Structure 1
Amino acid sequence: MSTTARRRRAALLCSLLLLGVLGMLPGWPAGPAKAATTDACGALIAKPGGGYWGCTFVDNFSGTVLDSSKWVVADSGISGFYMNGSCFDGSGVTQAGGYLRLSVVRQLQTCVTPLGNLPTTHRGSGVSSYGKFSQTYGRFEARMKFPAYRDAGYHGAFWMNPQNRDYGVWPGSGEIDVAEWFSDTPDNVYPSLHYTGSVGLLDTKWTCTVNRPDLFHTYAVEWSSVGMDFYYDGALCFSREWQATDLAKPAPFDRPFTVALTAASGGATNAPTPLTPFPAAFVADYVKVWN
């Protein structure tokens, strides 16, 4: 190779190297940035109308202590909350190995509440984002599993309640049950809405099922000003659009709602029997919310 050729080659290499260095300097124009594919909630999820949901709340239940900046523990003595003979005393909630466990035990005692004393047969447990987080509209999802029991006795849910009762006491201000489970119908998980004038055949889907509810499944609702779509393991199982006969639409579902996980004994046709084994545990892997 001639001296001239060697000089030209060296000059070309220097130019390429200089361009590469300059391309990494602050303020120097670079190639197009790669679009984000994840956020705090994990992989981005597409919205039905285009774009992606944006993460607003997430708890993967890592560590060994419940995050008190996100959750309050159900306590009947403070809130008056009582379910199907189950009292809540602020216990029964544990976190380990990346999971939240909510236990139900047989416990005969008097449940002391601000509304008066009530007889109780079992102690349930639960957590709620009340006073910590609430949101109007968006996507709300939990990954969880229910006890491996196929007879009467257990009742649990991933559900949502209004942060403020702007439309009055229950059911006036609404309730959104994303996934409600009863052990006497173990393969069914029920999405439903409660409000003044709600109708069971219109506002509850009685035929949503999952295979082996004692294994982990995802339960989600996508809530907008025109209705709600409920998805189990990514498949649409119930769609409720507001109709002309819903005179107050979308009220009461136009206010911020909190998220909750609850484990309790059954009730009515699902009441525990002496053969129902206790304690039992409901387990959650995560709760996530997007807007």
Structure 2
Amino acid sequence: MGDPLRRGSVFRPGWAVEARGCVRGIRSPPVTGVGAPGMSRIHRRAHRARSRACAIAATVFGVALGTAVVQAPAEAASTPVTVKAVSSRVVPAGAMTTVVPRYSAGKNVRVLSARVDVKRGSTWVARGVRRAKVPAGTYRVTTKVSYRQRVSGKLSAKRVKRHSYTLRLTPAPVVSPAPAPSYVPPPTPAPAVTRVPAPSSLTRTSSGCYDASLVKANGTAWTCTFFDDFSGTTLDRSKWTPVETSTSGYQIGHDCFVDDPRNIAVGSGALSLTVRKLSSAQPCAGARKGDENLDHTAGSVILNDAFAQSRGRFEIRAAFPATTVAGHHSALWMFPADPTATWPMSGEIDIAEYYSRWHGRAIPYIHYGSTDPSVTNNYCFIADPTAFNTYTLEWTATTMSIAYNGQTCLTHEISDDLKLPFEGQFKLLLTQGLGVGDGEYGNVPTDKTPDIGTTKVDYVRIWK
């Protein structure tokens, strides 16, 4: 978990968009457990968070991820990097085409980043993105490749190769179908049976864990396996275990996760997870080197082993901290139940991460080693993240789909050759910590960061 942006990163517990030029995250010391099996090494997630802050700003005016990529011949060039243009073409009516940077690099060239800007008339469709999904039309596309060249054993200063071209995507004419042959019905036809497909449960919010109208795409009912509406006055420890830095080594930023009612509380029908500033720094057992004494404590809980699950439907209604300045990091995420799991190859599912500096959106991310851009999406906007919103994951043998308030935010097809992590069971975590990330795009606390930040969870519902 950590800052905004991707494997160079876009946000952690989803570290998203790769931005090689950004500051790398830190790696925490080995973990020994979280008070419940399955939590060892989860603190490694903090290392991805530091790099996430870059990508969100780099792509904040970009577009969502696309479909099939079109290719084209290379432009003539004598530079170490040769940029290729995407060919103008006829596309099926209504189809979307994905434009990506295409280039080739010499043997002694290190490519730092490759992005495209796409403009239609005077309107920007995308700027500084890895890929842009566009319908038929005429576009001005600029590819920018940043690189360094090794000359006489030394790397040159960063250089940028730019190439602009016009891309015309012409819709194919719609061919009217041939008229059907005349048909004489039988004298006594059997009545036709019309099968109405079940509505997608991903786009619906349940009325309860036993909502009979909530069905899968194949028409069968979801089966409730867990729910907690936090109607009591204390945390139900038969369901949840607090995450503690002292037993797991887990941290996001310079925070110490503790089992304390000021950080983890239940009341008024909700679970409250709070990061708060202390009057002075206090010892934090299990923290990384340099964080032995910290002035912020944080709150997180993890489902107990009995509720670990592979695949299903997961729905959480939550409200994130009421601030729009940098410094607070919230996450609704899942990690393998296997205590030997390591990140990222063992998998991690970030249903929603919220970075207070990037107010107005939440970030999903599927970690497991895949380089497919559809593992994340920086463009899942939410009108008011500080109010209660519904965050839903539907996980099948082949896909991960995430929706916010019934609006599909991400759909990822699990790679066949990397799917092993998602054959095992995962456990849900709910977390509120301190932001991280250096530089211009970081989410580190400032003197304007509120002393207290709370994520409230109204309910958690899980189905098979």
TM-score by length of 2: 0.51
Give the superposition deviation at 1:201: 3.0
Aligned pairs for 1:103-252 (under 5 A) are 103-107=274-278, 108-113=281-286, 118-119=291-292, 120-165=294-339, 168-195=341-368, 197-199=369-371, 201-243=373-415, 246-248=416-418, 250-252=419-421
Describe the superposition over 1:219-245 as per-residue Cα deviations: whole angstroms up to 9, x where unpaired.
0100011011101111211100124xx
Give the superposition deviation at 1:118: 2.8
Query: Is contact 2:318-2:459 (8 Å) kept?
Result: yes
Query: Is contact 2:223-2:463 (8 Å) kept?
Result: yes
Aligned pairs for 1:29-68 (under 5 A) are 41-44=209-212, 45-68=214-237
Give the superposition deviation at 1:136: 0.3
Aligned letter for 1:271? V
Describe the superposition over 1:40-61 as per-residue Cα deviations: whole angstroms up to 9, x where unpaired.
7142311122111110000000
Aligned letter for 1:43? D
Say which is worse superposed, 197-206 or 123-132, in terms of deviation. Answer: 197-206
Describe the superposition over 1:18-37 as per-residue Cα deviations: whole angstroms up to 9, x where unpaired.
xxxxxxxxxxxxxxxxxxxx
Residue in 1 that maps onto 2:184: none
Among all aligned residue pairs of Structure 1 and Structure 2, give the percentage whose two residues are the same amino acid: 36
Query: Is contact 2:313-2:394 (8 Å) kept?
Result: yes
Counterparts in 2 of 1:40 and 1:216: CA distance versus 1, 3 Å: closer
Give the superposition deviation at 1:109: 3.1
Tell me how far apart the structure 1 counterparts of residues 309 and 289 of structure 2 sit (CA, whole Å): 32
Provide the secondary structure at the position in 1 that maps to 2:421. Answer: coil
Provide the secondary structure at the position in 2 that maps to 1:274. Answer: coil
Query: Is contact 2:244-2:259 (8 Å) kept?
Result: yes
Give the superposition deviation at 1:111: 2.1
Counterparts in 2 of 1:200 and 1:146: CA distance versus 1, 3 Å: farther
Tell me how far apart the structure 1 counterparts of residues 253 and 211 of structure 2 sit (CA, whole Å): 38
Residue in 2 that maps onto 1:89: 258
Say which is worse superposed, 78-87 or 135-144, in terms of deviation. Answer: 78-87
Q: Which runs of 4+ in 1 moved over 4 A?
A: 114-117
Counterparts in 2 of 1:121 and 1:227: CA distance versus 1, 3 Å: farther
Aligned letter for 1:77? S
Provide the secondary structure at the position in 1 that maps to 2:374. Answer: helix
Tell me how far apart the structure 2 counterparts of residues 52 and 153 of structure 1 sit (CA, whole Å): 42
Residue in 2 that maps onto 1:272: 445
Describe the superposition over 1:196-252 as per-residue Cα deviations: whole angstroms up to 9, x where unpaired.
x24483311111111101111000100011011101111211100124xx522x221
Structure 2: 5+ residue runs without aligned partners?
A: 1-205
Q: Larger relative contact order (C-alpha < 8 A, sep ≥ 6)?
A: 1
Describe the superposition over 1:100-156 as per-residue Cα deviations: whole angstroms up to 9, x where unpaired.
111111143332118777343421101110434200000011000011211101100
Aligned letter for 2:297? R
Provide the secondary structure at the position in 2 that maps to 1:43. Answer: coil
Describe the superposition over 1:155-193 as per-residue Cα deviations: whole angstroms up to 9, x where unpaired.
001110110046x42222111000110001111101101
1:254 and 2:427 correspond: no
Query: Which structure would you say has the larger Rg?
Result: 1
Q: How many residues were matched structurally?
A: 249
RMSD: 2.0
Provide the secondary structure at the position in 2 that maps to 1:275. Answer: coil
Aligned letter for 2:245? S
1:70 and 2:239 correspond: yes
Structure 1: 5+ residue runs without aligned partners?
A: 1-37
Tell me how far apart the structure 2 counterparts of residues 42 and 272 of structure 1 sit (CA, whole Å): 42
